Amino acid sequence: MEEFLAGYDPRRYPPVAVTVDVVALTIRDRRLHVLIVERGVEPYEGAWALPGGFIRPDEDLAGAAVRELAEETGLDTAPAHIEQLASYGGPGRDPRMRVVSISYLAFAPDLPDPRAGTDAAAAVWHPVDDVPRLAFDHERILADGVERARSKLEYTPLATAFAGDTFTISELRLIYESVWGTPLHAGNFHRKVLSVPGFVEGTGETTQTGGSRGGPRAKLYRAGDARLLHPALLRPSREDEIR
């Protein structure tokens, strides 16, 4: 708490910088991708990193995350979902000074390729299971973000944030499979999605054609009004992670 402020002048403390870093996820070609940028400045110049930057005096933390995402990638579409992930602030995580980073997790539907914006030499969507080395402790942040995303898909309808306005049950299943990295039983998934109240609602429409490799036209759905999935849609058993 701030009790110290009256007694201590914070300006006499060693300076602390506060940044936001964003783990922006999307699905491309059935694989989970993360947005990374090539750093254009020291330290770690030329290395890959998560997009992010300093907070400004007049903006809140989430606002800073959205701004940094837009600035460094040139994407003008705000992500379909953004939430705070965690904060990282151990001494020594930045070689120059104490830096506390507040990370955000963003979900976006398949977006165009980003273009490098301010302070980034390049910006690309990269598959999460094959990311190059990242600067600072960004590999840890990314891992935490991916685990959070996997977990969120279990008990919230946020998978729809990766999809367009309307989608088929199979497209939704591909999102789950991509994020979880596990194949799912199509019939059981279909039954489950339709049985959870408020997860999706039918549009009355179907796709205009069958799939490119055959199969009937699929019904189209849009996101429902549920905020939580109940009962949850759980990942296939992860025995190893229980103990």
From the list DNA, a second copy, none, partner contacted by residue 217 (C-beta under 5 to 8 A by kind)? DNA
Tokens of 189: 């998934």
Instruction: Kindly state whether residue 240 participates in binding a second copy, applying the rule CB under 8 A.
Output: no
Report which residue type is found at 144. D
Tokens of 179: 């994020």
DSSP-derived letter for residue 216 is -
DSSP-derived letter for residue 158 is G
Instruction: Kindly state whether residue 79 participates in binding a second copy, applying the rule CB under 8 A.
Output: no
Q: 154, 161, 65, 69: which is closest to 107 by C-alpha?
A: 161
Instruction: Kindly state whether residue 102 participates in binding a second copy, applying the rule CB under 8 A.
Output: yes
If the CB atoms of residues 89 and 183 are measured against a second copy, the closer one turns out to be 89
Instruction: Kindly state whether residue 186 participates in binding DNA, applying the rule CB under 7 A.
Output: yes
Instruction: Kindly state whether residue 187 participates in binding DNA, applying the rule CB under 7 A.
Output: yes
From the list DNA, a second copy, none, partner contacted by residue 215 (C-beta under 5 to 8 A by kind)? DNA
Q: Is the dihedral of CA 22, 37, 133, 89 positive or negative?
A: negative
From the list a second copy, DNA, none, partner contacted by residue 61 (C-beta under 5 to 8 A by kind)? a second copy
- C-beta of residue 104 within 8 angstroms of C-beta of residue 65: yes
Name which of residues 199 to 238 contact DNA (CB under 7 A): 206, 209-219, 231-234, 236
Considering the complex, what minimum distance in angstroms separates the CB of residue 170 from DNA? 3
From the list a second copy, DNA, none, partner contacted by residue 11 (C-beta under 5 to 8 A by kind)? a second copy
Residues with Cβ within 8 Å of residue 165, at least 6 apart in sequence: 222
Part of the chain binding a second copy (CB under 8 A), chosen from 12-20, 105-113, 163-171, 181-189 = 12-20
Name which of residues 48 to 77 contact a second copy (CB under 8 A): 49-55, 57-61, 68
For 92-138, the DSSP string reads TSSSSSEEEEEEEEEE--S-PPP---TTEEEEEEEEGGGPPPBSTTH
Q: Which listed residue (195, 225, 242, 243) binds DNA by CB under 7 A?
A: 195
Instruction: Kindly state whether residue 201 participates in binding a second copy, applying the rule CB under 8 A.
Output: no
Q: Is the dihedral of CA 179, 184, 186, 192 positive or negative?
A: negative
**Interface with DNA (CB under 7 A):** 168-170, 185-188, 190-192, 194-195, 206, 209-219, 231-234, 236
